[in-house]
Structure formats: structure tokens, C-alpha cells
Structure 1
Amino acid sequence: MHSGNTGYKVLTTLAKAMLLSGLLLSGAQAEDLNGPLAQTKSGLIRGVSELGVRAFKGIPYAAPPIKENRWRRPQPVQPWSGVRVTSQFGPACAQSAQEDPNTRLSAPSVSEDCLTLNVWTPSSPIGAPDAPKPVMVWLHGGDFRSGVVSYPLSNGAQLANQGVVVVTINYRLGYFGFFDHPALVREDVTTPANFGLLDQIEALKWVQENISAFGGDPGNVTLAGDDAGAVSAYYLMASPKALGLFHKVIAQSGDPWLKLEDRNQAKKSGMKAATQAGVAADADAAQLRAIPAGTLIKLNSELPPDAAFGPIIGDEAAPYTLLDAVDRKLIAPVPLLTGVNSYEVSIAPQLNLTQETILAPLGDQKDAARALYPEDWSDTQFAEKVFSDMRYNAPNRWLALEQSNRSSAWFYYFNYAPQYLREQFSGTPHGWHLPFTFGTYSLIPEMYANFRPQDITMAQRFQRYLVNFMRSASPSDPTLPNWPAYNAQNQIMMVLGDAAEPMAGLFRQRIEFFTTLYRNSNKKY
């Protein structure tokens, strides 16, 4: 295997450089008494003007999920009087700093009291002066166990400068966000298990109720995310609780075939975790809620990196796996733009995956799979591409194809790295779409100083595709290379390299092979 984690380490290094340079946007800021005001349903808030836009940070969208509210559905915010200052990011949701180095670098603090969101909105009219703007709600990644929205690469200012109202949210993670236990069911037979997904749904409800105050259009909301955020977006497409709360989806480098537990399995995992926390097997819900947050964070950090973790199948937020939801025709008929990077295997070391564990799901089909790849490839090259195809390329193209039958879909293959980093990469690593998606390369001195004109052109092109989709549910416009929709007849993906080039049927045999293998298998990859 390659050293693999290169892309992840590079992004972390850049965040650190930004911190050291004093430019990290999540740091403390003095209250701007002339800052912009917005009236929410819960009260008046004052934000800040920065980077040419208006920003409101750390807005509570639900009550603190602590004490009696732990492992409950998100509860209403207590309204406030006067003006609430929203100039700083709220704490990241409880997690181990070792879980995600970016949390340590960019979160002002980490807390169980974390259900806040952030809004960036244009300072000046773009287009029709009074026309409401398209809205993007961003779900961060991090394997459902870590992640922050104060990370500089997902700052929403540059998108807001293009006329989009950007919302980024915190949601409960790890055992705080995805947990089941018999004691909770004994307390309330309707209790859910996907508290993190319900947080995301509550934030979407907040957007519907409040985004007009920020110039946003509640009837034109794009739900977007990468990694676990993309998986979340997929599951919200299948959730009856999220129906009508968004109108389009952008999903980047997620795994819709992610290995997950059902409620029976999750109850066993929850009982094991509670026992490790020193709680008796017959404990009641109050005793569970008394477990110190630090203990749960430690247990979360001790989970194997490749453990099944995330949405728990069988509650009100996620009644079915995505495969079952598709087969039952329960996926929301909304336009979907999805895609993957060309070197997703860069994340494999972070998941403790080896060449052997990557190929293990192939079973007796390994030789059949090998025949689909170039004969002169080494075993390492074969394993790397199998990982990308099996975990990212095939699952996302499968879902794009299914969604094309219900609405419309577009698929991209991101195969671009900045000029100065090309010798380090064998393609585009996992996560490296972020500075191009948000346009935040300009906020990180080390990156911006080395970006060449062609790098900036590529970033601007990709952002324009995404903003077009947010506005009108189609990425194309007359000034860009045409991006055809993805469907069964053409299977055209947009290959985003030095140029933007639509290609039909790329890797089609491999995609069909892994899709058939997944459907025929009793276990998920």
C-alpha cells in the first residue's frame, strides 16, 4: 500500500499552518457592536462582517443535549431576550481530539453541549435585489465519531460571495449520537437510536423556519456533505422524518454501502459499552445518563477504526438500509449530484486496512475481479483500486443510477491535485475536494501561495458547477463544458482533471461487478 494518509496529513498540516499564522477563523473575536442583526424564531442575534459577507456563528438550533436530554430527541431552544452575540463558533460535539487532528487544531472547544449551527450570507445583493438566495446546508464528515464545522476548509464565506446562503451544523457524534440500550427502550418504547440524524433533521427544520431572515429561500435548500456527511445526506433522503426539508442533494465521497448495525445489534453494542463504563447490566436510563461524558469519549476513541458505526437501522430516522429503501422506492425524488475522488484509498491506513483486509470481501470472486483490471498492475495497485471502486465508486454510481430513475442525477470523478503537490499523490486523495468545493484555498496561506493559475481556474470551475446546481438543480451553464445527466443509457460522468471532460461508461464493468457482488452478499462491505 502507499503511505496513503498523505492527503489527510496535508490538510491537517495546512490547518496547523493557518492556526500558527493567526488567521484561523474559529478563534475568539470581539463583539462587533455594528455587526449585522438577524431575527430568528428564538430571538435576535448579532453576527460579524468578514471576508465580504455576513457571518452568524454558534446559533443554537436545539436545547443542550446534556443531563436528562442525553439520548433523547433534540429538544426546543429556550428563547432569549435582548441580543445574542453569534460571532464565534460553538464547541465541537464531544469527541476525542486524537480521533481527528483537525478537531484539535480548529475547534474552540469540545463539549456535549454542542447543537449549534453557523450561517454565512451575502452582504450585498446578487441577482435580483430582493430575490431569496439558494441555501446549502453542510454536514461534516468524520466517520460519525469526529468532525468539526470550524475547520477552515469548510468556511462558507466564499460560497456566500457567489450568492449562496451557507449553513454548517454540529450534530451529536459517537456514542452520544448513535446509541441503543434496553434501558432506554424500557423508559420509552418509542425511543430512537439515531440522535445524530435527528439533530440534522432538527437543523433542517430550523432552516425552514428561520433562513428567510438571512435572505435564504426555504423552498430551495441543497443538503450537502462529504464522507459521513454524505452518508447522512443519503440516509435523510430515505428518512420519512426529513421529507420535504430539502430539495436537492450534493454527496461527496460517501459510502452508501457502509457496514451498519440494526437495533438488535446496536443494543448489544450499547450494553457492552455501558458495562465498560461501569454500569450494571440491569441499569435504568437515569444511570446511563449519569455516565461521565469523558468516559463515553474514551470508549468512543477505543472503537476499532473499521468498526461498524453510524446510523442504526430500524428507528424513526433510519427505518431501512439504503439498499432496502431503494428497493422499496422510499428514496426522496430529489436531484442528486454525487462523486468520488480518484485516490480514495488514501484513507485506508486511517481505517487500519491492509491489502488483505481490502480484498477479503471478494471471497472466491477475487480472480474474477482481478480480470477486470490491467494485467500489468501489481497486487498493491489492484488492492488500491478495488478499495476505491468497492467502497466509493460503485456504491455512489449505483445510487446515482437509481436516483436517475426517480428524479435526476449527475456524477463526477475528481482527478485533480494542485500542481505543487502532484508528485506526492497517485490521484486525488480522500477529502481533497474540500478546498475546491468551498473555495477556501484562498484562506490558507501555504496553499494559496503555491496555487497556480490553472489550480484556481479548476477550483472556480468546480464551484460554479456546484453553485449552478444549488440554484437550478443542474450544474451546467453556457459558459462551462456541458455536464450531461447520469442515467442507465449513457452512464456519463464528468471527469474533473486538468480539463472538465464528460466520459461515458468509465469503469462500467467494474461497477457492475461490485454492485452484483454487494446485492448477492449477506454482509455489507
Structure 2
Amino acid sequence: MQRKCLPILALALAGWILLPGIGDAATPAANAPSLRIHTASGVVEGVRDDGLAVFKGLPYAAPPLGALRWRAPQAAPSWRGVRKADAFGNVCMQVPGAARAAGAGDVGPMGEDCLTLNVWTPGTAGATRPVMVWIHGGALVFGAGSQAPYAGNALAERGAVVVTLNYRLGPLGFFDHPALAAGSGGDVNFGLLDQVAALKWVRDNIAAFGGDPGNVTIFGESAGGQSVLALFASPKARGLFQRGIAQSPYGIPSHTRAKARAVSVEIASASGLDGSRATGEQLRAIPAERLSQAGAIKGNSLAPGFAVGDTALPQPILEAFQQSRQAKLPLIIGSNSDEATVATAFGLDPAAVVERLGAGRILLKPLYPGVSDDAELGRQAIRDLVFTAFARRIAYLHSQRAPTWRYYFNHVQDGLRPAPAGVGHGGEIVYVMGTADACRCLAVPFSTADRKVSRDIGDYWFAFARNGVPAAAGAPAWPKDSAKRAQVLEFADTPTPRANFMQARLNVMIGALKGIGGYLGKKE
């Protein structure tokens, strides 16, 4: 029955973008962080923001233009004088308006010259603060590090140096046309290589911003959470970070190189070229806007998965974890209570999914006692098949190699109760980042109770980044998850540890998925 759901779920995820404490206090004006920093490429000058120093639009690699399109990122060029860092850089190319249509707001001006990052720091002199590098979501086709829900102020006020980044998306970030084989070095996941390049920039430059290059936490949601797991699995990222937080990664399998090549040929055809016969010169001459539009045609996208078999991702993510080849580093992983919004936001009817199961409904319903409505049954099944079971599977495997903590975010905003069925895909982000009041991205404002949840989860995240153990003052201890004892911290009105959370249901789902060929890890 899971096979019947796969094409619909993959399509829904492929078109989705995410929705949108206590450490050091803000530095007094007399000891304010410097706004001029010497980087490896030259001097940059940031701006002051309530005691923090903020640097926007810093290039971490050369613009991937002309001959550098579909190549691994190259070193950023140097400059003379002082470079102003007071405005975000271009957003990487994507379909115009897609982020707004998906409820994430306008991402701003786009361009192929987009490999920039942003830094929020509470202090730049003589400090070695934990570094937190945020990787945005958006199915690998939408989004930007400059979006308002991702602002690093709240985590920086706790004492972290926060970095957000852009990486190449869609056909410009994930492409495998045969004409490029010689010049690309066999790579296809250029967007993932961009993330690696950004982490190398952090390693080489972040000390000047007050950060500790030996204490870097990567974290992200949806495609960003999937990227965290991919970086754990990637040989290219070894030694560039010390721990990770994967928020709502999904059990949609990556693609084979054959699939990636077929899609890339179709994109060439849709861009007006002669499919597989197109030359590298012709491909690099296609306007970036036309490529983005061609990649949005149904069937012409690899989203939301990576391609397997290049230097960045030699094997599927789950396979790497199964074979204990992932980085042996602490990990937090989890998901939300209504992740099916990723499907329903794009027209998928959960009741129709259950109806398609036919006789399979008899097997599904006992896993959800008390749920009689097919729409609700479908929502919960989609959530658990794609997200909850996958998080448990990864946690189970990783806990045998390194400390692992698992969460389930279930705090519905006070002002929205009792309407929502739970917390939708991406709904935890403003709590983690502490941006609910500033982002102007919520239907109703936060209440005192909402702010308490935000403070708690932000404290857990910051403590994990600081010393590798998630903890929050006045909040419960977070037990590790393990192969022997399943443990989850549920973020509801108060954080609540739960043993054997959904255990029977998740065991059945994981067993069934493995039995039909490993939907959560099988290559397409």
C-alpha cells in the first residue's frame, strides 16, 4: 500500500517550500562587537542591530557564472578596500513567486550570482563562541537564507554566532547532462557542494567574527534537515562541523544518476535545445530564468531528493547510516505533529490516499485507534510514513554510533486553537529561531505560553550547540534516544519526555517499508 502513496507524496514534497532563553546577553555599547572584520578575501563592514553585529551578503565562493555554471564552487575572489555588508545578497534562482504562493513570503531579488552567507554575532574580540549554521528548506528548489523567519538575532543574543546561507537550487543546483560530464568532475549535487563550501568558509573565517571553528553545529528544516543528514553522510563534509540538528527530514529516496541524467536531458529540451545532443556551451548560454522555468515543468525536477553517486553523496543517506559510514557526531532529529500539511497545501487529499489503499485500509486502521475519519487517517499516515518513522529509523541507527536525541513538536499556537490538527510542516521554525515577533509571518501573534515554548526550544538548541548536550534551565532533562530504549522529547505546552513514543506503530511501519524494498532508503 505504501507504493501507491509514493508518487503522490513525492510530488507534493517536490513542490513545497517551508512555512514560515540563557547564554550571553547583548554586548554593552562600550564593548560592542567590531563592525569591520578582516576575512580571507578582504575587509567587510557590517551593521549594528541591538547590540549585535550583523554582516549580510558575504561571498563564500565565486559567482557560478559562465564556465563556472555546473561546476563545484570555486574560491571567492579577493577585493581591496572595505566591502559593505549591510544588505542580503541575491537569492539563488527559483521560479518567481513560488515562495510567496507557498506561504513563505517574497524571497527578494534573484540572480545566478548568489553564493553568499550572513552572520549574526554578539562579539568579535577574543571570544570563541559556538557557531550555528542554518540551512534553509524548500525541496531544494525554493528558499533563501535571508528569509525573515531565519534571522539569527535570538540565538546570537544567547551567545551563538549564527550563519545563514544560500545554495544553488533546482536545475542550476542539481543537474547531470551528459555534455557536462568532462567539466563537472562527475558531480551533480552542486547545491550540496555549495553547502560544503560555506562550511569551509566558516572554518577559515568565523574566528574573526567571534566564533569557534572547532565548534560548529549545522541545523535546518525540511530540505535543510535532509541536507544535514546528507552532510553527515558526505565524505566532503568531514571535519567541517561537530554536531547537527535535522528538523523534519523526510523519507523520500534520492535518485540514481540515470534518473538525474534523464531529467536533465528533459530540462535541456524544455529550454529549447536538442535534448541529449545539446553541447555544454549551449547549456551554459541558456538564461537562468529559462532553466528555472523548465525545471518547474511536471516531471522535470529532482526535488525534493538529491542524486546519488557523485563526490558529494556517493551513496543514499539511509544506506550510509545503515552501514555506519555517517559522521560519528551528536545528532538531534525530529518532526512535527501535522507534517501532512506539506501534502495538503498542494492539493493532495488525505482521504483520497486512504481510499486508494482499498483493502489496505484494514491493515492501516488498527495502527490509529480512535481515528475513524478517512481524511484524518490519511493525514496521520502520511505524517508517519514520510516523517515520524524516518526520524525514528535514522535515530535508531545513529544512536549506535553517536549520542542521539529525538523530538516531536506538538505545540499549537494559543491563538489558533482548537482549529489545527497539529503543528504543520515548518511550524517549529519561528520557535527555534525566536523570530515570531519580528518576521511578520504569522496569522496571529504569539502568546506568553507560545513565547515560553520558544524560549525552551531555543535554549535546548543553543545548549546543544555550546557543549553537545541539549538542556534548558527549568525544563526537563532530555533523555537520549537509543536502539534499546526509544525516547522522545515532546514539545507541547511544556517539554515532556516520552518513552516508547508511537513505538508499536512506528515499528510496524518501518518493518513494512523495509519489506517492500526500503521505501525510506531505496534509490530511484
TM-score by length of 1: 0.88
Moved more, 472-481 or 491-500: 472-481
Q: CA deviation at 1:454?
A: 1.4
Offset from partner CA, 1:458-517 (integer Å, 9 cap, x none): 111111111111111111256321111111222110011111110111111121122122
Matched, 1:176 2:172: yes
CA shift, 1:63, in A, is 0.6
Following the alignment from structure 1 to structure 2, what is the Cα–Cα distance between the partners of residues 372 and 474?
33
* Change beyond 3 A, Cα 1:376–1:196: closer
Secondary structure of the 1:441 match is: coil
Structure 2 residue identity aligned to 1:471:
R
Corresponding residue for 2:310?
315
The question of 1:501 aligning with 2:500 is answered no
What is the match of residue 265 of structure 1? 259
Aligned twin of 1:92: 91
- Measured against aligned partners, the alpha-carbon deviations of 1:425-456 in whole angstroms (never above 9, x if no partner) come to 11111111111011111214685983222111
Shift of 1:520: 2.3
2:150 matched to which residue of 1? 154
Unmatched 5+ stretches in structure 2? 1-11, 21-32
1:240-279 to structure 2, matched below 5 A, reads 240-255=235-250, 257-279=251-273
Task: Give the aligned residue type for 1:38.
Answer: I
Question: Contact between 2:35 and 2:45, CA under 8 Å: does it hold in 1?
Answer: yes
Which residue of 1 is the match for residue 73 of structure 2? 74
Q: 1:307 to 1:361 in 2, by over 3 A?
A: farther
Structure-2 separation of matches of 1:500 and 1:294 = 45
Q: Does the CA-based 8 Å contact 1:136-1:165 persist in structure 2?
A: yes
Letter paired with 2:284: R
Q: In structure 2, the residue corresponding to 1:338 is in which secondary structure?
A: strand
- Counterpart in 2 of 1:24? none
Deviations 1:225-280 (A, max 9, x none): 0000000110110000101111100111111x213311111111111111111112
Match in the other structure for 1:341: 336
Aligned partner of residue 413 in structure 1, secondary structure: strand
Structure 1 residues 11 and 122: CA distance shift in structure 2, 3 A: same
Q: Is the 8 A contact 2:371 2:377 kept in 1?
A: no
1:463 aligns with 2:462: no
Q: Secondary structure at the match of 1:134?
A: strand
Whether the 8 Å CA contact 1:89–1:108 is kept in 2: the answer is: no
Q: Confirm or deny: 8 A CA contact 2:411 2:491 kept in the other structure.
A: yes
Q: C-alpha deviations, 1:381-436, integer Å up to 9, x for none? A: 11110011011100011101111100011111111122111233111111111110
The one-letter amino acid paired with 1:108 is: G
**Structure 1 gap ranges (5+):** 13-33
2:140 aligned residue (141, 144, 158): 144
Q: Report 1:169-248 matches (<5 A).
A: 169-185=165-181, 187-188=182-183, 190-248=185-243
Helix, strand or coil at the partner of 2:220 = strand
Q: Give the superposition deviation at 1:309.
A: 3.9
Compare 304-313 and 480-489 and name the one that shifted more.
304-313
- In the TM superposition, what whole-angstrom CA distance separates every residue of 1:85-135 from its partner, at most 9, and x where no partner exists? 0111001100012321179844331111100000000048xxxx8440000
Deviations along 1:59-85, one digit per CA (max 9) or x if unpaired, are: 000011111110001011110010000
Is the 8 Å Cα contact of residues 193 and 315 (structure 1) preserved in structure 2?
Answer: yes
CA distance in 2, matches of 1:470, 1:305: 38
| Distance in 2 of aligned mates of 1:236 and 1:517 | 28
Amino acid at match of 2:226: V
- Partner AA of 1:162 in structure 2: R
* Aligned residue in 1 for 2:24: none
Q: Report sequence identity in percent.
A: 37
Count of matched residue positions in the alignment of Structure 1 and Structure 2: 493
Paired position in structure 2 for 1:300: 295
Q: How far apart are the structure 2 equivalents of 1:105 and 1:471? A: 32
Contact 1:416 1:497 in 2 (8 A): yes
3-state SS of paired residue (1:412) = strand
Quick one: which amino acid aligns to residue 368 of structure 2? Y
Mapped to 1, the partners of 2:40 and 2:422 lie a distance apart of: 46
Distance 1:364 1:196, change over 3 A: farther
Q: CA 1:79 to 1:332, structure 2 compared with 1: closer, same or farther past 3 Å? A: same
Calculate the aligned-residue CA RMSD, in Å. 2.6
Secondary structure at the aligned position of 2:255 is classed as coil
Change in 2 beyond 3 A, CA 1:306/1:495: farther
1:73–1:491 CA distance, 2 compared to 1 (3 A): same
Contact 1:173 1:196 in 2 (8 A): yes
What amino acid does structure 1 have at the position aligned with 2:180?
L
**1: distance between equivalents of 2:354 and 2:372?**
15
- Counterpart of 1:42, as a letter, is S
Other structure's SS at 1:111 match: coil
Alignment-mate amino acid for residue 379 of structure 1: D
SS in 2 for 1:100: helix
